[in-house]
Chain A
Amino acid sequence: MSDLCKQDQLESAFELFQRAPDRFGATSLITAFAKQRGDLNVSLQVYKLLRSSHKRPDGFVFQALLNAGRLCKRLGQVVHVVVDDIARLGMQLDDIRSCTVLVKACGDARDAVAARRVLGWLQGDRLMKVKVDDHLGAVLIGMCSKCGLTESEGEEERERGGVIMKLFEELRASGFIPGLASWTALIGAYAAQGSEKAWELFDEMSRAGLRPDRVTFLALLSACQGTAELKRGEALHSHIKQSGIDIDDFLAAALISMYSKCGDINQAREVFDAAPPSKEGEGAIGRWNAMIGALVKARKTEKALQLFDKMVATGLRPNDVTFAVALPACSSIGDLKRGKEIHSLIKGRGLPIAEFLGAALITMYGSCGDIKEAVSVFDEATKRSVSIWNAMIGVLAKCELGKEALKLFDKMTEEGVQPDAITILAALSACGDIGDLKRGTEIHSLIKQRRMVIDDFLGAALISMYSKCGDFRQALRVFDAMEVRTKGSSSWNAVIAALVKEGNDSAALTAFGDMLAARVQPTLVTFLAALSACKEAEMLKKAKEIHSLIAKKGIPIDGFLAAALISMYSRCGDVEEAKRVFENEVRKKRASPNVVDGWNAIIAGLTKQGENAKALAIFADLLLAKVEPDLVTFLAVLPACGNIGALTEGKEIHSLIAKKGMPINDFLGAALIDMYGKTGDMEAAKSLFEEMRRTASDGVSVWTAMIGTYGDHRRTKEALALFEQLASPVERAGPAKLDGVVLVAVLSACSHAGLVDTALEIVKTMQQRYGFPPNTTHHSCVIDALGRANRLEEAETYAEANVPRELVPWKTLLGACRIHGDVERAKRAEQRARALAPRDGATRVLMSNIYASAGQWENVQMVRDQMKEDKVKKRPGISNIEVKGKVHEFFVGDTRHEMSAAIHAYLAELWKKMKAAGT
């Protein structure tokens, strides 16, 4: 029969075997069919025939079967059959060869159940009988490691190093003397887990007088991950050199990855360059792959892609790993062209688009903004593994296509693919983005159902999902339910951000304190969230603490963080500190990343504090410093122009925007129209508005700005006509949709024009007509309108009925009382306003003016004294006038201007003339 096999007459041999099955024939046939025909099914049939003929298979039959399985890439199936039959027949493993083959097969098949059974058979004196040699020892350890049999049940076992260490001890107790192979396997097993134990074992092995070989080094190199382990990695490298081991491509690749993971890209490059010129072969490709990957990891994307090109030019054929490493390089810089080139190379090689390669392609197209192509790769993928689904769902979620991401998530489950932790994270982020609380809650239940461990990341994802969907109570509940030791910086950051979003700033700051107390390292995100919680002068002390903690932690202050600090100090009213941060961290660091954000923050902060001229000066400095202004810069600087009537500068900024070719979006258009309106250039405002309508780029902000401008200029008819157009159901070309803010502009226009009843009518019907309930600002407009029209009684009743606990309406009423000299009502309004904001200077000044108008000087003095006592500051009046393109600023009683004396003389003269004419 073995002759027939040799002559490739397998069918005849099979016929012969069917007539009289025997072990020897089975062994030959099983091997022959697998080797010569690649047909495992016949091999299995042969085995079945043997079993049904009541002949016990022996070690040789099993070995043949296992080898056949390995050849036909169906090892898992065969391992299952063999292990089952050994158990069923009660066979004993005592011949070392079959033992080795079986153990190796279990390991390679990653079959943990089989592995545990085999380990069970090899206990105690059985080990003695088998006489385990170094090779089998290594294979046994390797099996445990590959099958993940590292977790140990008992605490005691864990302390001793788990299942593997236990096995190793047992082997030694049975007289086994571990050689290099076993030691290396043992070290490799612990290195793969990133365990310190690997290094202890390495020392022990050296003490036993064994010299490590390249496999030992490969294992140890893989254990060096993270900058803290660079020293160890370097020591290994010199150890390798001393040992005289030739640094081949595999070792070079391992060294490159080690240096890359330890953050030393230069040494990685040295290793790469020191290797001999590459010849075609898996090893050489692996070395190149490692170097390209290292460059990508070090964010030297251009260099990575250059090396990729060089690799192709050298004549080396990139493999699937090369592509999977090069594609993220394209993703990180959004280089669609290069990405497409690599895609066509992959197509040219005829590589199947599956698994990680497919995922890398999808992610590349997604990151480069070509969703269509990402979807088509997904559709073409030959086999959709979890990683491919994850890539596609992740791309959709990142591109704010939350609905589509969730649809795909459903489809994935329908097709029977189990979502893993990464899928769940992407799906939760999608729910948060589209505010779909229902779906988010469903996914949360799925997590509970599947008993997934809620770790730091998953916890953070759940918290932000609930927070984004507005369910803050549930967000906090998730956080509270997490185990204390799983709460890392991600979940703390998420909960602090949720509290800030809820508007519960003091709770957010308390949580920040708790996080520090729990000794969880705050990250940049933590600091940004904590800074954004500091909103009022009362929080200045806390804010300063956070600032000094940032300095203490040595967190580099880039433009973004500087911007957060500057905005925080401006909000808390400490403009001087904001300026200091700007000078030290922004102006001096022209090259720091996101530096423009710092400039934007100081311009916006100064404008908000009324230091408009200073804001404009800093904008001029920004242009001089050749910092590229962005959209936010313009949105920050234009209001400063408007506030002080700097029309010339405003126009210059407008032409700068045009020169840069920056598209004028809804917000920028609104800011420009507002600037023109506030500087008095109605024509420019109108023509920009018309232009934006013509090009259909008019969003609701642009309409609001134009209506507001008409209203401020008391061109009420035009304001209302525009509003009519916006509110009419006739199709317009532009995208503008009515919102609550535009109604404020309309109401304010009504108020200026004395159209009290129109204003009342709008507020009464806005919910029903436009679908927005009136808010405090809308109500304040009505009170303002009633007040100006001297319908003070109604105004007071209205405030009491609709917005009794809001500051602005009472201040508005107070202003109206001043116009009409109603001292008694003013007193009541002031009391209400003061109860709500004791430190508001404007309220006090208004009241003092009302007393003055009524000639009640004792009361004026009383208010002034109280203000001093309460340290409430009065905002000084500032007037600006633009003459010959330059804005001049004047304070009350100002004598600082260079022409001050002349101005005062001129006024005195004018005064005389006026008096003469008046009397």
Chain B
Amino acid sequence: MQSTNRPILGFNPMLNTVMHNMTDDEKDCHLCYHSEKLALAFGLMNTPEGTPLTICKNLRVCPDCHEATKFIAKLTGRRISVRDANSWHHFDETGHCSCNEYW
């Protein structure tokens, strides 16, 4: 994926990555349920602030989750590592990902 123009300070769900044909509200809700977000939320809730998190996913991370993770890393000031079926994405506290948006 090429570098997006979207500022990493804010977040806008990438609605077009959801495969179902539904209204935007429904899409928002559906995105909540992607497995990496569930795992990430669980990790954030159950570890002391500042603890780095590592998530392993069996498929490839979708662009939306990638965006969301960047934002969450920045918002919570945590280092988050996500390994998907392809490679590692290391997000630092500033919301920057080691993949440099090169997928």
Residues of A in contact with B (beta carbons under 8 Å apart)? 610, 643-645, 647, 678-680, 711-714, 752-754, 788, 790, 815, 819-820, 848-849, 851-855, 857, 860-861, 875-884, 888, 890-894, 897, 899, 902-904, 906-908, 910-911, 913-915, 917-919
In the complex, what's the smallest C-beta–C-beta distance from A709 to chain B, in angstroms? 9
* Closest 3 pairs between A and B when the two form their complex, measured CB to CB: A645-B56, A918-B10, A852-B19
Can you give 15 contacting A-B residue pairs, CB < 8 Å?
A643-B56, A680-B81, A680-B83, A752-B99, A815-B60, A849-B19, A875-B58, A879-B40, A881-B40, A883-B46, A890-B42, A893-B33, A899-B45, A903-B45, A917-B10
**Looking across the interface, which residue of chain A has its beta carbon closest to that of B76?**
A910
Contacts between the two chains (Cβ within 8 Å), count: 160
Whether A819 contacts B103 by the Cβ 8 Å rule is yes
**Measured between alpha carbons, how far is A754 from B1 in the docked complex, in Å?**
12
Whether B88 contacts A713 by the Cβ 8 Å rule is yes
Residues of A within 8 A of B87 (CB): 711-714, 752
Residues of B within 8 A of A913 (CB): 75
Whether A647 contacts B102 by the Cβ 8 Å rule is no
* A679 with B18, Cβ < 8 A, contacts A754-B102, A894-B33 known: no
* A892 with B58, Cβ < 8 A, contacts A855-B16, A910-B41, A913-B75 known: no
Residues of B within 8 A of A678 (CB): 56, 83
1/0 per residue, CB under 8 A from A, across B17-45: the answer is 11111000000101011111111111111
Residues of A within 8 A of B60 (CB): 815
In the complex, what's the smallest C-beta–C-beta distance from A551 to chain B, in angstroms? 35
Whether A819 contacts B1 by the Cβ 8 Å rule is yes
Specify the main secondary structure of chain B where it touches its partner: mixed
Residues of A within 8 A of B53 (CB): 881
Among B28, B55, B68, B81, the one with the most A-chain Cβ atoms within 10 Å of its Cβ is B55
Q: How large is the interface on B (under 10, 10 to 19, 20 to 34, 35 or more residues)?
A: 35 or more
Asked if B91 is at the interface of the complex by the 8 Å CB criterion, the answer is no
* A917 with B47, Cβ < 8 A, contacts A819-B103, A861-B21, A879-B57 known: no
1/0 per residue, CB under 8 A from A, across B69-94: the answer is 00110010000010100011010000
Whether A917 contacts B16 by the Cβ 8 Å rule is no
Whether A644 contacts B16 by the Cβ 8 Å rule is no
* A645 with B54, Cβ < 8 A, contacts A712-B88, A883-B43, A907-B32 known: yes
Whether A918 contacts B12 by the Cβ 8 Å rule is yes
**Measured between alpha carbons, how far is A767 from B40 in the docked complex, in Å?**
45
* Extra pairs beyond A879-B36, A892-B34, A903-B45 (4, CB < 8 Å): A643-B58, A881-B56, A906-B41, A918-B10
Asked if B4 is at the interface of the complex by the 8 Å CB criterion, the answer is no
Residues of B in contact with A (beta carbons under 8 Å apart)? 1-2, 9-13, 16-21, 28, 30, 32-47, 53-60, 68, 71-72, 75, 81, 83, 87-88, 90, 98-99, 102-103
Whether A880 contacts B56 by the Cβ 8 Å rule is yes
**Measured between alpha carbons, how far is A849 from B20 in the docked complex, in Å?**
9
Whether B99 contacts A906 by the Cβ 8 Å rule is no
Among A678, A890, A897, the one with the most B-chain Cβ atoms within 10 Å of its Cβ is A890
Which of B9, B21, B71 lies in contact with A857, CB distance below 8 A? B21
In the complex, what's the smallest C-beta–C-beta distance from B95 to chain A, in angstroms? 11
Whether A645 contacts B83 by the Cβ 8 Å rule is yes
**Looking across the interface, which residue of chain A has its beta carbon closest to that of B17?**
A853
Whether B88 contacts A714 by the Cβ 8 Å rule is yes
**Measured between alpha carbons, how far is A917 from B68 in the docked complex, in Å?**
12
**Measured between alpha carbons, how far is A789 from B36 in the docked complex, in Å?**
26
Which of A644, A753, A875, A902 lies in contact with B56, CB distance below 8 A? A644
Residues of B within 8 A of A882 (CB): 54
Residues of B within 8 A of A879 (CB): 35-36, 38-40, 55-58
Which of A713, A883, A919 lies in contact with B47, CB distance below 8 A? A883
**Measured between alpha carbons, how far is A753 from B100 in the docked complex, in Å?**
9
Which of B11, B34, B42, B47 lies in contact with A877, CB distance below 8 A? B34
Whether B46 contacts A884 by the Cβ 8 Å rule is yes
Residues of A within 8 A of B47 (CB): 883-884
Whether B54 contacts A647 by the Cβ 8 Å rule is yes
Residues of A within 8 A of B83 (CB): 645, 678, 680, 712
Whether B90 contacts A713 by the Cβ 8 Å rule is yes
Which of B9, B35, B54 lies in contact with A917, CB distance below 8 A? B9
**Measured between alpha carbons, how far is A61 from B44 in the docked complex, in Å?**
112
Residues of A within 8 A of B1 (CB): 819-820
In the complex, what's the smallest C-beta–C-beta distance from B17 to chain A, in angstroms? 6
Residues of B within 8 A of A861 (CB): 21
In the complex, what's the smallest C-beta–C-beta distance from A843 to chain B, in angstroms? 13
**Looking across the interface, which residue of chain A has its beta carbon closest to that of B45?**
A906
**Measured between alpha carbons, how far is A903 from B35 in the docked complex, in Å?**
11
**Measured between alpha carbons, how far is A883 from B46 in the docked complex, in Å?**
7
**Measured between alpha carbons, how far is A854 from B44 in the docked complex, in Å?**
33
Residues of B within 8 A of A713 (CB): 87-88, 90, 98
Among B71, B75, B87, B88, the one with the most A-chain Cβ atoms within 10 Å of its Cβ is B88
* A904 with B32, Cβ < 8 A, contacts A788-B102, A881-B42, A883-B42 known: yes
Whether A877 contacts B41 by the Cβ 8 Å rule is no
* A881 with B11, Cβ < 8 A, contacts A752-B87, A853-B17, A892-B35 known: no
Whether A917 contacts B42 by the Cβ 8 Å rule is no
**Looking across the interface, which residue of chain A has its beta carbon closest to that of B54?**
A680
**Measured between alpha carbons, how far is A893 from B12 in the docked complex, in Å?**
21
**Measured between alpha carbons, how far is A102 from B39 in the docked complex, in Å?**
97
Whether B59 contacts A911 by the Cβ 8 Å rule is no
**Measured between alpha carbons, how far is A902 from B46 in the docked complex, in Å?**
11
* A894 with B16, Cβ < 8 A, contacts A788-B103, A915-B11 known: no
Residues of A within 8 A of B90 (CB): 713-714
Residues of A within 8 A of B11 (CB): 914-915, 917-918
**Looking across the interface, which residue of chain B has its beta carbon closest to that of A899?**
B42
In the complex, what's the smallest C-beta–C-beta distance from B1 to chain A, in angstroms? 5
In the complex, what's the smallest C-beta–C-beta distance from A346 to chain B, in angstroms? 63
Residues of B within 8 A of A892 (CB): 33-35
Residues of A within 8 A of B28 (CB): 911
**Looking across the interface, which residue of chain B has its beta carbon closest to that of A842?**
B59
**Looking across the interface, which residue of chain B has its beta carbon closest to that of A846?**
B60
Residues of B within 8 A of A855 (CB): 16
Whether B10 contacts A919 by the Cβ 8 Å rule is yes
In the complex, what's the smallest C-beta–C-beta distance from A816 to chain B, in angstroms? 9
**Looking across the interface, which residue of chain A has its beta carbon closest to that of B68?**
A914
**Measured between alpha carbons, how far is A911 from B83 in the docked complex, in Å?**
23
Whether A908 contacts B32 by the Cβ 8 Å rule is yes
Residues of B within 8 A of A894 (CB): 33, 35, 38
Which of A815, A848, A890 lies in contact with B39, CB distance below 8 A? A890
**Measured between alpha carbons, how far is A712 from B13 in the docked complex, in Å?**
27
In the complex, what's the smallest C-beta–C-beta distance from B37 to chain A, in angstroms? 6
**Measured between alpha carbons, how far is A621 from B59 in the docked complex, in Å?**
28
Whether B58 contacts A890 by the Cβ 8 Å rule is no
In the complex, what's the smallest C-beta–C-beta distance from B91 to chain A, in angstroms? 12
Whether B58 contacts A610 by the Cβ 8 Å rule is yes
**Measured between alpha carbons, how far is A64 from B102 in the docked complex, in Å?**
104
Residues of A within 8 A of B39 (CB): 879-881, 888, 890
In the complex, what's the smallest C-beta–C-beta distance from B9 to chain A, in angstroms? 7
**Measured between alpha carbons, how far is A860 from B44 in the docked complex, in Å?**
34
* A910 with B72, Cβ < 8 A, contacts A679-B54, A860-B21, A904-B32 known: yes
Residues of A within 8 A of B33 (CB): 892-894
Whether A790 contacts B88 by the Cβ 8 Å rule is no
Residues of A within 8 A of B75 (CB): 910, 913-914, 917
In the complex, what's the smallest C-beta–C-beta distance from B75 to chain A, in angstroms? 7
